[in-house]
Amino acid sequence: MRLFDPHIHMTSRTTDDYQAMASAGIAAIVEPAFWVGQPRTHVGTFEDYFLSLLGWERFRALQFGIRHFATLALNPKEANNTELADGVLAMMPRYLEKDGVVAVGEIGYDDQTDAEDRYFRRQIELAREHALPVLIHTPHRDKVRGTERTLAVIREMGFPPELTLVDHNNEETLPLTLAAGCWAGHSIYPFTKMDEARMVTLVRRYGTERIIVNSAADWGVSDPLKVPKTAAAMRDAGVSEADIELVFWKNPVRFFAQSGRLDLEDAPKVDQRQLFEGNSVLRGQQPRVDS
Ligand SMILES: [Zn+2]
């Protein structure tokens, strides 16, 4: 079965990860633009980051047979530097037009400040102008209140819930997200937050409609194989193959296909002789070339 990891920050990961993900059945991923661990000080740094998500990172994924799509945004944390935030928003329309951009995200709340609220709303407007879905980060602190505020903003602005993926849900927030008509993402982390067993319980209780699972792997303690591991846990627990296929392939495909840019035709053929602007992922190794 083909698997989809619809939220993973591959910029922070290695080629070993790509290799292991492809071997475990991951055929497509979405990489949302995010916080890089320390505050950026120039709009140009965002621009180069967007370009790398759409250029080098997509190339790198394809070198291991994985299709790579991106969502672009000013992340919630950096919305609090308003001078920088204004510069990033001014640049975004140009990038939202590009191939491989399947949503505006991650947007939403971190500390739930006024500035975060302002740039969250402005980016929902950008999504509307560009006919794109939104991928929404929910805060780690005060999550229920942050999720309620998020859903209230979507409702107030009249943004279509079917174009809204609310991410990082847990037992407390999932019923709110589903009742609002939005898609519900779940990030499976090692040791904390949502894990495989809790995800199995949620699917048993709420079914599979609009349910999505991701690894949210990044530069922190995380695991890029959480999607195949959670699929395996569901299979072990007796969840049907049809339901597993919905959660781990068809649901993310349906959601992001609403962008009109989720090209999944013809499995990519790996040719590691290829270069991106003169650069290879290899370091003198024998290139893999699929016939
Ligand atoms: Zn993320």
Enumerate residues 6+ apart whose C-beta is below 8 A from 134.
103, 104, 105, 107, 123, 124, 127, 159, 163, 164, 165
Q: Please, is 140 exposed, middle or buried when counting C-beta atoms within 10 Å of its C-beta (0-12, 13-18, 19+)?
A: exposed
pLDDT of 192: 78
Enumerate residues 6+ apart whose C-beta is below 8 A from 139.
76, 108, 109, 110, 111, 112, 146
Cα 290 to ligand 1 centre (Å): 32
Cα 187 to ligand 1 centre (Å): 9
> How high does pLDDT run on average in the chain?
97
Cα 153 to ligand 1 centre (Å): 20
Enumerate residues 6+ apart whose C-beta is below 8 A from 41.
84
Cα 49 to ligand 1 centre (Å): 15
Enumerate residues 6+ apart whose C-beta is below 8 A from 132.
96, 101, 102, 103, 104, 163, 259
d(CA 37, CA 9): 12
pLDDT of 152: 98
pLDDT digits (tens, 9 = 90+) for 141-174: 999 999 999 999 999 999 999 999 999 999 999 9
What is the CA 52 to chain-centroid distance, rounded?
Answer: 16
Cα 216 to ligand 1 centre (Å): 5
3-state secondary structure of 164: strand
Max Cα distance, the chain (Å):
56
Cα 178 to ligand 1 centre (Å): 20
Cα 267 to ligand 1 centre (Å): 26
User: Strand locations in the chain, DSSP E?
Assistant: 3-5, 26-32, 67-72, 101-108, 134-137, 164-166, 183-187, 211-214
Cα 286 to ligand 1 centre (Å): 34
pLDDT digits (tens, 9 = 90+) for 110-144: 999 999 999 999 999 999 999 999 999 999 899 99
Cα 53 to ligand 1 centre (Å): 14
Lowest mean pLDDT among 67-76, 192-201, 281-290: 192-201
Q: Does 106 sit behind a cis peptide bond, omega within 30 degrees of 0 on the bond before it?
A: yes
| pLDDT higher than 90, residue 191 | no
Q: How many other CB atoms are found less than 10 A from the CB of residue 97?
A: 10
Cα 235 to ligand 1 centre (Å): 26
pLDDT of 244: 98
Cα 12 to ligand 1 centre (Å): 11
d(CA 251, CA 262): 13
| pLDDT higher than 80, residue 193 | no
Instruction: Report, as an integer, the average pLDDT of 203-224.
Output: 97
| pLDDT higher than 90, residue 266 | no
- Percent of the chain clearing pLDDT 70 (strictly above): 100
Lowest mean pLDDT among 190-199, 203-212, 237-246: 190-199
Per the structure block, which two tokens stand in for 183? 């898609």
d(CA 86, CA 78): 11
Instruction: Report, as an integer, the average pLDDT of 273-278.
Output: 96
pTM beyond 0.85? yes
